[in-house]
Amino acid sequence: MAISILGISGSLRSSSSNTALLRACAAMAPAGVKITIYEGLDKLPYFSPELDTEGSSPADTVLSLRNQIRAADAVIFSTPEYAFGIPGVLKNALDWLVSSGEFTHKPTGVISASPLATGGDKAHASLVQTLRVMTADIQEEYKLIIPVVRTKMDQNGNITNPELERSLLALINHLTAKVSNADLH
Ligand SMILES: Cc1cc2nc3c(=O)[nH]c(=O)nc-3n(C[C@H](O)[C@H](O)[C@H](O)COP(=O)(O)O)c2cc1C
């Protein structure tokens, strides 16, 4: 059976390098691995615990996000850093997932990419911390920080840096190996 991975970009920009990285991951995924990119980040309501209690069903967009994560064998995030943190839209999405449990033991890749030399390392660390609180399965091999990303992609979002391509493929392969091994047990 095919392995399904959900890609979630932390950027809403139409020419986002992070979304382009996830598209590149989808294009390079090996046979038997399907990477789908989540589209609804900007459609989620602002999180409030009151909207997520027994007797009040959250919005369809929230249920769809939860269903897509539950149905995926693994998830890969790729996020920019805004003012040393993760973008608010991404944190809002994560807040909807804290109590609902979709990330429990979910193999999860975490990428950050930035035009700066730091690669968005503060946002990367913050995202890893938040996902680990939700008990996502994040190994060292599932993590990637990409500095000076604009020198590694062309204007159409194609990767021009062979090392980056190898790193992304390695991340995908580590995630899928984990999913495949888990299926054997
Ligand atoms: C409001 C704002 C804050 C930013 N803060 C940071 C930052 O703290 N660190 C960083 O590396 N880049 C920062 N950037 C630059 C982003 O990394 C850059 O816009 C990047 O291309 C965004 O990712 P995207 O191409 O996927 O949209 C910031 C950009 C904006 C608009």
pLDDT band at 55 (very low <50, low <70, confident <90, very high): confident
* Beta carbons of 146 and 152 less than 8 angstroms apart: yes
| Class of the domain covering 3-184 | alpha beta
**How far is residue 38 from each of residues 10, 64, 138, 167, measured CA to CA in Å?**
10, 10, 20, 22
Pocket test for ligand 1, best of 12, 78, 114, 126 (most atoms within 8 A of CB): 114
Residue percentage of the chain with pLDDT more than 90:
93
Cβ–ligand 1 contact at 16 (below 6 Å): yes
Of all protein residues, the one whose alpha carbon is nearest to atom 22 of ligand 1 is: 80
Within 8 A by CB and 6+ apart from 8, the residues are: 22, 37, 38, 41, 75, 76, 77, 78, 90, 93
Report the pLDDT value the prediction gives residue 109, as an integer from 0 to 100: 98
- Looking at residues 140-156, what average pLDDT do you find? 97
Query: How far apart are alpha carbons 90 and 11 in whole angstroms?
Result: 8
Q: Give yes or no for residue 185 having a pLDDT over 80.
A: no
Instruction: Indicate whether residue 88 lines ligand 1 (CB < 6 A).
Output: no
C-alpha triplet 20, 159, 36: angle, nearest 5°: 35
Asked whether 87 lines ligand 1 (CB < 6 A), one says: no
Instruction: Name residues whose C-beta falls within 8 Å of residue 38's C-beta, 6 or more positions apart in sequence.
Output: 6, 7, 8, 9, 65, 68
Mean pLDDT of the chain: 96
How many residues are present in the chain? 185
End-to-end CA distance of the chain: 16
pLDDT of residue 57: 84
Average pLDDT over residues 34-41: 98
The two structure tokens encoding residue 146: 């990409």
Whole-angstrom distance, CA of residue 175 vs CA of residue 154: 26
Can you tell me the distance from the alpha carbon of 87 to that of 122, in angstroms, rounded to the nearest whole number? 12
Mind listing the pLDDT tens digit for each residue in 69-94?
A: 999 999 999 999 999 999 999 999 99
Query: Which tens digits make up the pLDDT trace of 86-126?
Result: 999 999 999 999 999 999 999 999 999 999 999 999 999 99
Beta carbon of 83 within 6 Å of any ligand 1 atom: yes
Report domain extents, the chain. Answer: 3-184
